[in-house]
């Protein structure tokens, strides 16, 4: 039994099934992060000062307590990984499997770099006992960046599968494989997109 | 058109990807630079969100191919964003209408 | 191209050479029909369980403080010492009754079971767009159900802060509440995956000629329902994560500053907002109630068209109404929060949107009523349920109006009036329609017929008992009896005059259970040795009846994927001799008009 339009596009909509599926999923993710951002907005406008007093210290700005240079670096890392991701798809579209492997590997690598930098950030917070329970500023920081990091991990797992065992499909059904990379790419770009909004909102404002 | 199979087309797109990357890098530096100016909250918010929206739009249009995507996808994206904004706006108005008072926390 | 020529791998139609193990075929199947049946059986069992919780509660409400004979002794001393219900246990029953009925019962039945089984068939597709994802959705739901049920057995029992889990009470509740939150995350994930599947399937897998405006209204209903699930559930997932962090990591997202618990200031950073939980919860929970009703409206429409032998009146209007309803459902949520100290601007806004949203519901109901006019009505068992739905939903909807307007909501909020209102729409509303759907599609799913006499007894007993349970609630509510009261209102002097109704409602509830027995017996008997049903027992026009056998082909549904030539309700067409013109019958099969 064949499900129609798994690889070729349906004539009237112009897209294949998985593309519709992933955009629908991304729509739900928009609302998930949106819910958290709403919580952030609601809590922040309700607070007399932000960040305010945490563990006895007065903080006037987020940049006093969070590491902006490190986060800026992370922003560039993630944006670069988005480029390598779309390049990996483009390589497949141009029939260059070797280039695909290279770019996908780079994407995975950059993803790891992001997580390592994040680990340093979190580590430094924990060292200073700046835990989520101390203040809602820390709570929302950890929740938003934490959920985002979980999504990065998920993306790395999916990308690794497509770099490794999943790449076998290139031999048997190259078009379908290319579509899968496009779909994985859409997810990865979304993760980048969330960070593009998260970074200024949490760190700079 | 959403199915890009011709190699020449892809090469053109690669050039676009690189340009977008550069633009994103520049905008990131700008947004961090502006933050160092330590503007009052309302202008700071407007600048930061404008730059973030610009960056996000570039990613969505070019990396996610929305610029050449089919109607069904674009409608979906539009509806989700519309709902998101509605949620933000209603919650914020709710807070102030309830007597949340002056812009606290800023 | 090889993509969509035949539904079944060229082997003579029936897929009888499949070497699937028992587990792959019946447990971990990716066939939407098997998954639909799995959802159906699980959901019906959960509905029964949720009903049992309520029957226990109704003993306490009818005879407060009295030991429950025989059954009461089965319970532990932590719940019903000496057979007398403790308030803590009453609260568990209340919270879990709501949670189970809504999230484990009605929605999985309406969407997971009916949606999964019927939608691909009605649009002429061989299966859902993502069969493996479909299977994952079911098992996620199952896991969520296991977590929810297990919560009864942890120390201090299940969640007891209402199905609404308002903070800060929920934040300081016992372990059962944490399990509720994890259970919800699993259930929400299941729904999200399901929604992605449904929407992609409807957008991408409609058969040739099946344009959007030729889809059966049931499919439209599932389409809009899936959008609601997709976009409204995530904020609740976010909120559940935040509440979990408040409970497990001592954050203060919902903990206000200086909260005093049992005489002591809470040890939390503070700065949080209990209202934030309400916003995020109701942002989902309002669209959720449309998730509860829309599939039911779809089912009723199918049954009415079929049993009046006429096209549905105003199909286009129905479609516009349901699309509009979907959009509006996202911007009415705060009508559940009128008493939270809302400002006048917001109050006006939400009252207005709430009043506006009643219009599409009225349009849908009106169109269905008008369809009956001049129809050749067949009072089959499904039709009885569908007809019963109409006035019941009418009462439910009308009683919602005073709740949607702030001045009248203020005295009625959190009283039994509210409970009466929402039960009318869900119980004699949705559930009645869903039961009708079981009778309607049973012959398609099993290839057998159900017993008609038992069906009619089931119908009359159910609808009469439901009215005796839920109508008195309006009276009690208007007299000022609050909801969620362990003693049923005894403590209020102003309620004394209406307390006698508690016993009436309880007896009606227990009788309602008795009347479900003919249904259960009917199901079992008919599956075991029901009369064989032909492929299209109801002589219906839609593809699941007209183009697929009963039951449909195991993998692929149709011998050959149908092509669609006309709308879904071409009954009694002047150009066609039979009184039903299947959607996929070719124009060449047109025969002499009757009477020539």
Mutate which of A59, A193, A203 to test chain B, going by most B C-beta atoms within 10 A?
A193
> In terms of domains, do B21 and B59 share one?
yes
Distance separating alpha carbons of residues C446 and C266, to the nearest angstrom: 58
The parent domain of residue B104 ranges over 70-106
The backbone torsions φ and ψ at residue C70, rounded to the nearest 5 degrees and listed phi first, read: 55, -70
* CB-based contact A205 B41, cutoff 8 Å: yes
Minimal Cβ distance to C556: which of A1, A135, A147: A1
User: Any bridge partners for residue A57, and if so which?
Assistant: A54
What is the rounded average pLDDT of the residues C199-203?
A: 98
In this complex, how many residue pairs, one in chain A and one in chain C, have their CB atoms less than 8 Å apart? 147
What is the three-class DSSP state of A58? strand
CB contact burial C89-128 (16+ within 10 A = b; e otherwise): bbbbbbbbbbbbbbbbbbbbbbbbbbbbbbbbbbbbbbbb
Q: Round the average pLDDT of chain C to a whole number and report it.
A: 93
pTM: 0.94
Backbone angles phi, psi at A46, to 5 degrees: -90, -5
Residue ranges of E strands in C199-299:
260-261, 264-265
How high is the pLDDT of residue C530?
Answer: 93
Buried b (16+ CB within 10 A) or exposed e, B55-67: bbebbbebbbbbe
C479-517 pLDDT, tens digit per residue, is: 999 999 999 999 999 999 999 999 999 999 999 999 999
Task: Check CB contact under 8 Å for C343 and B99.
Answer: yes
DSSP state string for B26-94: HHHHHHHHHHHT---HHHHHHHHHHHHHHHHHHIIIIIS-GGG--HHHHHHHHHHHHHHHHHHHHHHHH
Sequence-ordered list of residues with C-beta below 8 angstroms from that of C57, at least 6 positions apart, any chain: C90, C93, C94, C97
Which two three-digit tokens encode residue C515? 């009347």
Asked if C283 and C232 count as a contact pair (C-beta separation under 8 A), the reply is yes
User: Which one has a higher pLDDT value, C114 or B41?
Assistant: C114
Task: Check whether A77 has a pLDDT greater than 90.
Answer: yes
CA distance C26 to C30: 9
Mean pLDDT of C540-562: 93
| Residue A45, domain member (yes or no) | no
In this predicted structure, the answer to whether residue C585 has a pLDDT above a threshold of 50 is: yes
Confidence bin at C1 (pLDDT 50/70/90): very low
Contact of C581 with C309, CB cutoff 8 Å: no
Contact criterion met (CB < 8 Å) for C231 and A27: yes
Q: What is the CATH number of the domain that holds C325?
A: 1.20.210.10
Q: Which domain covers residue A109, as residue numbers?
A: 63-204
Asked if C163 and C95 touch (Cβ cutoff 8 Å), the reply is yes
Give contacts of A13 with chain B, Cβ < 8 Å: 70, 72
> Does A116 score more than 90 pLDDT?
yes
Average pLDDT over residues A86-107: 95
Dihedral, CA atoms, B8, B13, B16, B21, nearest 10 degrees?
-130
Total domain count, chain A: 1
- The three-class DSSP label of residue B104 is coil
Whether C595 is covered by a domain: the verdict is: no
Nearest to C231 among B83, B91, B98 (CB): B83
Residue B63 shares a structural domain with residue B86: no
d(CA C269, CA A55): 10
Nearest to C330 among B83, B94, B99 (CB): B83
Closest CA to C461 of C429, C403, C509: C509
Contact C343 B86 (CB under 8 A): no
The contacts of residue C274 (CB under 8 Å, 6+ apart) are C166, C167, C168, C254, C255, C256
User: Does residue C3 register a pLDDT over 90?
Assistant: no
* pLDDT beneath 50, residues of chain B: 1-4, 102-106
CA atoms of C204 and C210, how far apart (whole Å) = 11
Q: What is the ipTM of this complex?
A: 0.95
Same domain membership, residue B64 and residue B96? no
Min distance A56 CA to chain C CA atoms (Å): 12
Tell if the CB–CB gap between C334 and B94 is shorter than 8 Å.
Answer: yes
Nearest to B104 among A38, A46, A204 (CB): A46
Looking at A40-49, A139-148, C421-430, C493-502, which range is the least confident one?
A40-49
* Mean pLDDT across A31-59: 92
In a domain, A78, yes or no: yes
The answer to whether C204 contacts A131, with C-beta atoms less than 8 Å apart, is no
Q: How confident is the model at residue C61 (pLDDT cuts 50, 70, 90)?
A: very high
Full domain range(s) for residue C442: 35-254+271-589
* Nearest Cα residue to C198 out of C285, C320, C282, C294: C294
* Least confidently predicted of A41-55, A162-176, C8-22, C381-395: C8-22
* Domain annotation covers residue C408: yes
Mutate to test the interface with C, among B94, B101, B104 (most CBs of C within 10 A): B94
pLDDT of residue B6: 66
Check residue A138 and give its pLDDT.
96
CA distance B56 to chain A (A): 6
Cβ within 8 Å of B, C 272-301: 279, 283
Distance from CA of C30 to the nearest CA of A (A): 12
Strands A52-54 and A57-59 come out as: antiparallel
Would you state the pLDDT for residue B46?
A: 93
- Asked if the structure places residue C4 within a domain, the reply is no
In chain B, how many domains are there? 2
B84 shares its domain with B57: no
Write out pLDDT tens, residues C313-355.
Answer: 999 999 999 999 999 999 999 999 999 988 999 999 999 999 9
Nearest to C284 by CA among C333, C232, C237: C232
Q: Select the more confidently predicted residue: C434 or B12.
A: C434
Q: Is 90 exceeded by the pLDDT of residue C17? A: no
Measure in Å the smallest separation between the Cα of C237 and chain A Cα atoms.
7
pLDDT in the model for residue C11: 41
What gap in Å lies between CA C142 and CA C153, rounded to an integer?
A: 18
Query: Is residue C466 exposed (0-12), middle (13-18) or buried (19+ Cβ within 10 Å)?
Result: buried
In terms of CA atoms, which chain C residue is nearest residue B80?
C231
State the smallest CA–CA distance between residue B58 and chain C in angstroms: 24
- Per CB-CB distance under 8 Å, the chain A contacts of C253 are 39, 43, 136, 139-140
d(CA C110, CA C116): 9
Set of chain A residues whose Cβ sits within 8 Å of the Cβ of C129: 3, 17, 20-21
Residue C14 pLDDT > 50 = no
Name every chain A residue with its beta carbon within 8 A of the beta carbon of C133.
21
Taking residues C20-36, what's their average pLDDT? Answer: 91
Q: Cβ of A185 and B63 within 8 Å?
A: yes
Confidence of residue C545 (pLDDT cuts 50, 70, 90): very high
Q: In sequence order, what DSSP letters do the residues of C319-337 get, joined into one string?
A: HHHHHHHHHHGGG-GGGG-
State yes or no: cis peptide before A51, omega within 30 of 0. Answer: yes
Q: Do C131 and A4 touch (CB under 8 A)?
A: no
**Subunit contact A48:B104, Cβ cutoff 8 A:** yes
Q: How far apart are CA A165 and CA C379, in angstroms?
A: 59
What's the pLDDT band for C18 if we cut at 50, 70, 90? low
- Which pLDDT score, from 0 to 100, does residue C590 have? 60
Is the predicted pLDDT of residue C369 greater than 80, yes or no? yes
Residue B5 confidence (pLDDT)? 52
In a domain, residue A10? The reply is: no
- With bands split at pLDDT 50, 70 and 90, how would you rate the model's confidence at C117? very high
Q: Does A132 touch chain C (CB under 8 A)?
A: yes
Residue C331 lies in a domain: yes
Does C595 have pLDDT greater than 60?
A: no
CATH number assigned to the domain comprising residue A197: 1.20.120.80
Q: Do C203 and B72 touch (CB under 8 A)?
A: yes
Least confident segment among A8-22, C18-32, C162-176: C18-32
- Please name which of C301, C458, A38, C539 lies closest in space to residue B91, comparing C-alpha atoms: A38
- SS3 for C557? strand
* Residues A11-17, mean pLDDT to the nearest whole number: 95
Minimum CA–CA partner of C246 in chain A? A133
* % pLDDT > 70, chain C: 96
- For residue C151, is pLDDT > 80? yes
Q: What is the CA radius of gyration of chain B?
A: 19
**Whether A43 and C273 lie within 8 Å, measured CB to CB:** yes
A96 backbone dihedrals φ, ψ, rounded to 5°:
-110, 85
Identify whether residues B55 and B5 lie together within a single domain. Answer: yes
Write down the pLDDT at residue A17. Answer: 97
Distances (CA, A) of C428 to C188, C421, C466, C469, C540: 26, 11, 6, 10, 26
Dig out the tokens for A10 from the structure: 């349906």
Note the pLDDT of residue C501. 97
Chain A residues within 8 A of C205 when measuring between CB atoms: 3-5, 17
| Mean pLDDT (whole number) for A61-77 | 95
Sign of the Cα torsion A172, A173, A179, A180 reads negative
> In chain A, which residue's Cα lies nearest the Cα of C207?
A4
Mean pLDDT of chain A: 95
Which of these ranges, A21-25, B17-21, B79-83, C587-591, has the smallest mean pLDDT?
Answer: C587-591
């Amino acid at each position: 039994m064949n499900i129609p339009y798994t690889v070729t596009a349906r004539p009237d909509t112009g897209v294949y099934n998985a593309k519709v599926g992933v955009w629908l999923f991304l729509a739900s993710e928009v609302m998930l992060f949106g819910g958290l951002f709403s919580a952030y907005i609601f809590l922040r406008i309700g607070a007399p000062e932000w960040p305010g007093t945490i563990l006895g210290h007065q903080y006037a700005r987020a940049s006093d307590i969070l590491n902006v240079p490190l986060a800026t670096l992370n922003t560039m890392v993630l944006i670069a990984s988005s480029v390598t991701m779309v390049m990996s798809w483009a390589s497949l579209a141009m029939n260059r499997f070797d280039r695909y492997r290279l770019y996908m590997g780079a994407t995975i690598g950059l993803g790891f770099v992001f997580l390592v930098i994040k680990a340093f950030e979190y580590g430094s917070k924990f060292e200073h006992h700046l835990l989520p329970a101390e203040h809602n500023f820390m709570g929302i920081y950890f929740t938003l960046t934490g959920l985002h990091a979980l999504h990065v991990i998920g993306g790395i797992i999916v990308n690794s599968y497509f770099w490794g065992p999943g790449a076998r499909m290139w031999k048997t059904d190259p078009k379908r494989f290319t579509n899968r990379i496009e779909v994985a790419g859409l997810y990865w770009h979304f993760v980048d997109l969330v960070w593009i909004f998260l970074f200024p909102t949490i760190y700079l404002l | 058109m959403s199915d890009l199979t011709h190699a020449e087309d892809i090469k053109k797109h690669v050039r676009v990807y690189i340009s977008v990357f550069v633009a994103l890098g520049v905008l990131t530096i700008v947004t961090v630079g502006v933050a160092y100016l330590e503007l009052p909250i309302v202008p700071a918010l407007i600048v930061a969100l404008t730059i973030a929206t610009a960056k996000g739009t570039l990613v969505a249009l070019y990396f996610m191919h929305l610029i050449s995507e089919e109607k069904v996808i674009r409608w979906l994206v539009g509806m989700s964003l519309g709902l998101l904004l509605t949620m933000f706006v209603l919650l914020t108005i709710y807070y102030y209408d309830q007597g949340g008072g002056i812009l606290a926390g800023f | 191209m090889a993509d969509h020529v035949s539904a079944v791998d060229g082997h003579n139609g029936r897929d009888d050479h499949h070497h699937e193990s028992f587990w792959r075929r019946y447990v971990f199947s990716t066939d939407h029909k098997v998954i639909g049946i799995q959802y159906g059986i699980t959901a019906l069992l959960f509905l029964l369980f949720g009903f049992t919780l309520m029957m226990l509660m109704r003993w306490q409400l009818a005879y407060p403080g009295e030991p429950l004979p025989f059954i009461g002794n089965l319970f532990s001393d932590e719940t019903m010492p000496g057979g007398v219900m403790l308030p803590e246990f009453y609260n568990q029953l209340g919270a879990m009754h709501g949670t189970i009925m809504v999230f484990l019962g009605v929605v999985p039945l309406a969407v997971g079971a009916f949606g999964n089984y019927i939608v691909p068939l009605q649009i002429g597709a061989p299966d859902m767009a993502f069969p493996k994802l479909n299977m994952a959705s079911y098992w996620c739901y199952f896991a969520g159900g296991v977590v929810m049920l297990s919560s009864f057995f942890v120390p201090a029992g299940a969640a007891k802060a209402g199905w609404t889990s308002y903070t800060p009470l929920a934040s300081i509740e016992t372990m059962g509440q944490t399990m509720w939150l994890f259970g919800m995350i699993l259930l929400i994930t299941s729904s999200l995956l399901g929604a992605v599947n449904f929407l992609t399937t409807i957008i991408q897998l409609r058969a040739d000629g099946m344009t959007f405006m030729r889809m059966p209204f049931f499919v439209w209903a599932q389409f809009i329902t899936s959008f609601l699930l997709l976009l409204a559930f995530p904020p609740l997932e976010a909120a559940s994560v935040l509440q979990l962090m408040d409970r497990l990591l001592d954050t203060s997202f919902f903990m206000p500053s200086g909260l005093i618990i049992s005489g002591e200031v809470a040890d939390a950073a503070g700065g949080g907002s209990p209202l934030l939980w309400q916003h995020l919860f109701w942002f989902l929970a309002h669209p959720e109630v449309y998730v509860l009703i829309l599939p039911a409206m779809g089912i009723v429409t199918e049954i009415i068209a079929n049993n009046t032998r006429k096209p549905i009146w105003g199909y286009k209007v129905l479609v516009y109404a349901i699309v509009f309803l979907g959009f509006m459902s996202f911007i009415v949520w705060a009508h559940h929060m009128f008493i939270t100290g809302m400002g006048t601007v917001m109050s006006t806004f939400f009252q207005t949107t709430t009043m506006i949203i009643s219009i599409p519901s009225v349009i849908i109901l009106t169109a269905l009523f008008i369809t009956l006019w001049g129809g050749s009505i067949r009072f089959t068992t499904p039709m009885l349920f569908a007809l019963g739905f109409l006035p019941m939903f009418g009462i439910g909807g009308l009683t919602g109006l005073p709740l949607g307007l702030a001045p009248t909501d203020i005295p009625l909020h959190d009283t039994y009036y509210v409970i009466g209102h929402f039960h009318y729409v869900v119980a004699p509303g949705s559930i009645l329609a869903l039961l009708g759907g079981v009778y309607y599609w049973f012959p398609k799913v099993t290839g057998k017929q159900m017993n008609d006499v038992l069906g009619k007894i089931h119908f009359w007993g159910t609808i009469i008992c439901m009215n005796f349970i839920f109508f008195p609630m309006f009276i009690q509510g208007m007299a000022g009896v609050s909801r969620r009261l362990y003693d049923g209102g005894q403590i209020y002097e102003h309620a004394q005059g209406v307390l006698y109704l508690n016993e009436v409602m309880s007896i009606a509830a227990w009788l309602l259970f008795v009347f479900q027995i003919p249904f259960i017996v009917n199901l079992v008997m008919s599956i075991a040795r029901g009369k064989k049903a032909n492929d299209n027992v109801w002589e219906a026009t839609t593809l699941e009846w007209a183009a697929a056998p009963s039951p449909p082909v195991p993998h692929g549904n149709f011998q050959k994927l149908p092509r669609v030539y006309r709308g879904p309700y071409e009954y009694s067409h002047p150009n066609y001799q039979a009184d039903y013109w299947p959607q996929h019958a070719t124009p060449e099969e047109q025969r002499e008009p009757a009477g020539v």
